[in-house]
Amino acid sequence: MDSERSIANERLYDTTMYSGSAYPFYRKYSMVLVTYGLIAFLYILILALFIIILSKSKPDGLETNINIQREINAFQNHLSQLTSKLNQMEGISYKAACETSWIQFNDSCYQIITKRSNWINARALCLGKGSDLVVITSQEEQNFLMSNTLFKNDRFWIGLSIDIGKQWKWVDATNYGASYTSWKKGEPRSDRGGFTKNCAFSWTNSEWETVQCTFDKCFAICEKKLG
**Ranges in the chain, pLDDT < 50:** 1-26, 29, 93-94
**Structure confidence at residue 120 (pLDDT):** 96
CB of 159 closer than 8 Å to CB of 225:
no
pLDDT at residue 208, rounded to an integer: 96
Could you tell me the pTM of the whole model?
A: 0.60
DSSP track, 160-214 = EEE-TTS-EEETT---GGGS---BPTT---SEETTEE--EEEEETTS-EEEE-TT
pLDDT at 50: 64
| CA–CA gap between residue 218 and residue 121 (Å, rounded) | 11
Determine whether domain 105-225 maps to CATH 3.40.50.800.
no
Residue 103 confidence (pLDDT): 94
Torsion of CA 93, 15, 158, 144, to 10 degrees: 60
